Chain A
Amino acid sequence: MSAGIDLENVSCDFGTFRAVDHVNVTIQPGEFFSFLGPSGCGKTTILRMISGFTDPSSGAIRIGGKDMAGQRPNQRPTALIFQNLALFPLMPIWENIAFGLEVRGVDRAKRRARAEELLALVDLPDAADKMVSQLSGGQKQRVAIARALAVEPSVMLLDEPLSALDLKLRQHMRAELRAIQKRTGVTFIYITHDQGEALAMSDRVGVMSQGRLQQVASPRDVYNNPANGFVASFVGENNILTGTVQNANAGLASFDTPVGLLRARLGDVSGGGAMKLYVRPEHMTLSATAGAENSVPVTIGEVSFEGSFIAVQGAAANGTILTAELRNDGMASVPATGSQMHISFDANLASILPDSATVKG
């Protein structure tokens, strides 16, 4: 039922602007795959190329092993959920859902029955005869999913469909989408600029910037082992320190920074470009005394209470600001502004990465 997708050296130019630049990725059947990146990074163009609305300038797209070149959107086994959903406002809900079946010549009674089945699947019974305008945002979302599922696509393409919803509903729909994907086994390709969505729902995430795929990995790896500086700084928060690599052995290197010599894992240096040290605020620890390594004496600056954690800023001797996030376990003592402390981190939790990695191909 579900199909895998191969993007082989896919590029797309709009005039002189290269929206997508030599993207190579294989998406497994039944996988929940997200393209994550800032707006304008080319992720929507990838989606439109897979669905057939935009033709790649070069490269090949295969769905289920079949080359899609020359196939119109209405001939592809994909279903696209638009950012604004694009439901048909002049049709009742059940006709919206059954539109794909109507196109395929299914008779009216069967269409109606199938629409009701799908409405039950997306947890919206009794909505069949309502109009689109009578539904709330979350309900419209479900109708859009049901409409796409009705044509039994091998691949579902979702273009930031949750971005218009409020926070609570968005979190609820995340779980819902994930559950529907598991239940139906259809390959989901999800486009988003929201890292929370991408990390929470996906089997794998492809991080994009300026048309290039920067890293393809599991959410855990994208977060914990970013391939380059872009991924490290786009996904999650980081303390970033500039400096030069001194010596490297066993994957760890010394890094000469303005706040002193620090040790961290060394990433792929072959790409050239400036190397920087990235360490996440939640991996920072604060202590009154200096640690064995990677310890920087700081003067505590702003302390902000964020609920589940406490963000503490510390200024090093040269003025560099380092941020530590302390988990709020109910007992953590909050350091006082102006006090002298040491901020430190484990060398294995920090990485030295080039600004952007070379893209193979």
Chain B
Amino acid sequence: MQDLLRRYGTGLTGVFIGLTFFWLAILVILPNFTMLESSFRPYLAKVDEGGPLDTYSLGNYMKVFGNEVGFSIFGVVFQVPVRVKVFLLTIFYSAVVTVITFVLAYPLAYYLAKIVSPKSLPTLFLLLFVPLWVSEILRSFAWWIILALKGPLNAVLMQLGVIDTEIRWIAGFSPVIIGLVYTYVLFMVFPLYNAMQSLDSNQIEAAEDLGSPWWRTHWRVILPHAKPGIASGAVMVFMLSAGSLLVPSLLGSTTSGWFTQTIQGIMLDSQDWNTGAAFAFMLLIVCTLFVSLAMRVFGVKLSDIAK
């Protein structure tokens, strides 16, 4: 603060602080607080707002526990509220997406950080970024076309003789997973790349010199070093996936409900903002808890990620 004042004077410092305050208070805290407040109030007709019916309760949150449906895990059928089912599947498949992006990103990040010559690095980064210049909607539509029953993917596989009949790709959760992995894989690649790049290559050579096969070098030296990068990549991919609306809406099938779609339905179709807000907060809180739990399990601290 003293430093800021000395360097920029009172005027500019005031502007910096003012803008930061505006951003935090007006654009982040206030809307979220309004949402939080309204999530505890019932959805009422305009005339009843502020009347005797307008009381705080957890009613909106409890709505998630209505309408039980069958939910089978390993052949055992449970009776679960339909929204809870959608909620759990969203969390589960977001975790699946996170794992798949990690599996894809790890070799790529390692290649970029340790193998490729620094001269070709800018070109490779450019190639990775080019898809980001196209809007997310178009990219998802592209996948919708690729995965279509009479689409190019089936055509190629048929031509190669891998399959005899077309596969209905757009069914269940697989197209959503494919779309989310494609959309968010770079959010895994870059933190991993950053983490690996800071690893002294001599350590990799030292491990090899001591007789270590490549997989053990990865397991004992490179992976532990990259852990903060993995954690921040995983948190980003998981949160973005769980919160994605576009990809599940475009690439989803009749059987792939995503919880964001539930929220959207309540917010826009039912116009029930109060319940929508309650559900949105529920998603946020549970995802945060899930991420903290995962971080605890893998022994990653928040300060590691910030690095």
Contacts and interface: CB of A to CB of B under 8 A. Distances in A.
Interface of A: 51-53, 72-75, 78-80, 82-84, 86-88, 90-91, 99-100, 102-104, 147-148, 150-151
Given A73-B208, A74-B209, A99-B212, 8 more contacts: A73-B209, A74-B212, A80-B209, A82-B202, A86-B200, A88-B206, A88-B207, A103-B212
A99 B207 contact: yes
Contacts of B203: 86-88
A78 B225 contact: no
Contacts of B208: 72-74
A75 B214 CA distance: 12
Contacts, number: 62
With most chain B CB atoms within 10 A of its CB, the pick from A78, A100, A148 is: A100
A38 to B, nearest CB: 22
12 contacts: A72-B208, A73-B205, A74-B209, A74-B212, A80-B209, A86-B200, A86-B202, A87-B206, A99-B212, A100-B212, A103-B213, A150-B210
B211 A104 contact: yes
Interface in B201-229: 202-203, 205-213, 216, 220-221, 224-225
Contacts of A75: 211
Interface of B: 200, 202-203, 205-213, 216, 220-221, 224-225
B223 to A, nearest CB: 10
B225 A90 contact: yes
Nearest to B214: A74
Contacts of B225: 90
Contacts of A86: 200, 202-203, 205-206
Contacts of A91: 220
B221 A88 contact: yes
Contacts of A147: 210
Contacts of A79: 209-210
Given A86-B200, A86-B203, A88-B203, A78 B209 contact: yes
Given A88-B221, A90-B225, A99 B202 contact: no
A100 B213 CA distance: 11
In the A-B complex, the 4 residue pairs with the smallest Cβ-Cβ separation, listed nearest first, are: A86-B202, A100-B210, A86-B206, A103-B211
Given A84-B200, A86-B200, A90-B225, A103 B210 contact: yes
